[in-house]
A = this chain, B = another copy of it.
């Protein structure tokens, strides 16, 4: 089955960086000579309107001299028509729960087009959306979505914005990101591995190959149910993760 995906942990490699700069080469490799990308603006970071969010993304494409027209899903009276016409899709980050609620009517159509080879690119929540489920998002559940199932474009889960070790700093007293992911795996039905992507990292996926790319050379930490997590260096083909689903 053809597959063309780029799943970015974060829109910025770090808080000083220009949005998408660390992913520029991979975006060009993914999108090739296509002209347009449909931007799914539903995750609305900081409560931006859809149009504001699309404008910011268009600006990031321009700053990075990415030669693609960015068209917001909100510019279509019928969003399904937007997906049908799309040459490629970019699902932006923000709040995963808002995204999941609003993308619901489009999910089957997106899966179909991706299965036919259309490039899909996601950042943060948009990368969570490419996994099996949303159970390993970091976001606050500000709305109740119709499900936590995701697009399933890959057969495992993503945890984006995986922090570099910060001695003495936890999410709150005594609890770290690792503990949260371990709690996910303590639930018996949650058998899929979780690829915890540091902020400079992304997965570039062509057909069966799932390459870890990292702008600053980070490894990825993969969590498994019932056994220890493993770090894999940049450049690893993580295709084996799709065979270890329980």
Report the minimum CB–CB distance from A51 to chain B (whole Å): 15
Copies of this chain held together in the complex? 2
Contact pattern, A 1-33, Cβ under 8 Å of B = 1, otherwise 0: 000000000101011000000000000000000
Whether A134 pairs with B141 at a CB distance below 8 angstroms is yes
Whether B140 pairs with A181 at a CB distance below 8 angstroms is yes
Known contacts A141-B137, A144-B147; A199 and B183 CB within 8 A of each other: no
Whether A183 pairs with B147 at a CB distance below 8 angstroms is no
Whether A12 pairs with B138 at a CB distance below 8 angstroms is no
Tell me whether chain A's interface is mostly helix, strand or loop, or mixed. loop
Is A108 an interface position by the 8 A CB rule?
Answer: no
Q: Specify which chain B residues have a CB less than 8 angstroms from the CB of A139 in the assembled complex.
A: 180
Is A136 an interface position by the 8 A CB rule?
Answer: yes
Is A190 an interface position by the 8 A CB rule?
Answer: yes
Query: Looking at the complex, which of A71-79, A111-119, A165-173 is the stretch in contact with chain B?
Result: A165-173
Rounded to whole angstroms, the CA-CA distance of A140 and B142 in the bound complex is: 13
Q: Specify which chain B residues have a CB less than 8 angstroms from the CB of A15 in the assembled complex.
A: 170, 173-174
Q: Specify which chain B residues have a CB less than 8 angstroms from the CB of A232 in the assembled complex.
A: none
Q: Specify which chain B residues have a CB less than 8 angstroms from the CB of A64 in the assembled complex.
A: none
Is A68 an interface position by the 8 A CB rule?
Answer: no
